[in-house]
Structure 1
Amino acid sequence: MLLPQVCVCYLLRERAGRVEVLLGRKKHGLGTGYFVAPGGKLEAGESATDAAVREVFEESGLVVVAADLEPRGLLSYHFPHRESWSQESNVFVCRRWAGEPAGSDELDPEWFDVRDIPLDEMWDDASRWLPGVLDGGTVRRTFVFGSDLATVVEERSPDA
């Protein structure tokens, strides 16, 4: 089954010897109330990279260049109790951009120390892969969510 394609982009900066990541609390739609990174659905004919560039700008006001995006993996999300939420997410990290983050109708961006990410206020899967990706790693996993639409009930790697 071909899943709808989405993207997410984690912007990283160094400040006072610490690495910080840009997240924002989702204002509406899938994941309302959770902290997320800028991202969203790919439009018809759009590559994941082009979508990430567009979504970062729309959701944070920051301008990123496709060449500065670091592909870090692919996540498959399955929601058997609400199939319309199932999707495949292309994960990017970016360390260069122009502008200052500004709120949008989607997110109010704020910086977090990567050692103090609000994982308890993010999607349940984030704690299982996000710290490693922000530390330079890559990810390729499938997550299945339970009937509460919030809890991971199964996790698989592609060769499982």
Structure 2
Amino acid sequence: MTERDATKNQHPRVVVVYLLRDGAEGPEVLLGEKRRGLGSGRVVGPGGKREGTETAVETAVREVAEEVGLRLDPADLEARGTLDYRFPFRPSWSQVSDVFVCRRWSGTPTASEELAPRWIPVADVPYDAMWDDARYWLPGVLAGGSVEARFTFADDDATVAGFTGSGVDAAAASSAD
């Protein structure tokens, strides 16, 4: 989806950033428990809503600084795709998210009012504690892939009812059962 196409979409634009590092036991990703707002209590990557005329990259840099106290160089952000989230039973939750991976930053992750971050081995990402869609696309993104997909949520506003696009693992649906 191009920037121009995204402006035609009436849903709010957001970003999410997955910070990756080499840990003692292998690759790790910085995730945290969301402390307030949409998704409160779920495990998520740092991110949030675009403000004003911000680009996705500008939002990513700002949100990571605000939520986990790390400074990013925009050149270090790797764009990995776009997710279009649809909540037919709660339309105000629908949004379009740009996905980034980042392997360089400065600072030490610190908790904020928004997020309590911690490093988690990529092999141990707690998908059951995340939004349901993450199990379908996040493993591929963390392994170096990308995603361009739309997820539609069921009437419980928590379970994926369907999806279209690329970079999505349909087999993840059976592992969710």
Taking structure 1 as the reference length, the TM-score comes to: 0.97
In 2, distance between residues paired with 1:5 and 1:122?
20
Q: Using the alignment, how far apart are the partners of 1:46 and 1:12 within structure 2?
A: 24
Contact 2:35–2:115 (CA under 8 A) maintained in structure 1: yes
Equivalent residue, structure 1, for 2:38:
30
Residue 75 (1) aligns with residue 92 (2): no
Q: Mark the runs of 5 or more structure 1 residues left unpaired by the alignment.
A: none
Query: Is the CA contact (8 Å cut-off) linking 2:49 and 2:59 kept in structure 1?
Result: yes
| Partner residue in 1 for 2:108 | 100
Letter paired with 1:7: V
Amino acid at match of 1:30: L
Q: Deviations over 1:90-144 (max 9, x none)?
A: 0000000000000000011000000110000000000000010000000001000
Matches within 5 A, 1:33-44: 33-44=41-52
Q: Which amino acid aligns with 1:43?
A: E
C-alpha distance in structure 2 between counterparts of 1:39 and 1:71, whole Å = 14
Paired residue type of 2:90: R
TM-score for both structures, normalised by structure 2: 0.87
Secondary structure of the corresponding residue to residue 74 of structure 1: strand
**1:131 and 2:149 equivalent?**
no
- Deviation beyond 6 Å, 4+ runs, structure 1: none
Task: Report the secondary structure of 2:119's partner residue.
Answer: strand
Find out whether 1:4 has 2:12 as its counterpart.
yes
Aligned partner of 1:155 in structure 2 is 163
Summarize deviations over 1:57-99 as a string: whole Å, max 9, x none.
0000000111000000000000011111000000000000000
- Give 2:22's match in structure 1, choosing from 14, 17, 26: 14
Q: Percent identity, please.
A: 56
Q: SS at the partner of 1:53?
A: helix
Structure 2: give runs of 5+ residues left out of the alignment.
1-8, 167-177
Contact 2:25/2:121 (8 A) holds in 1:
no
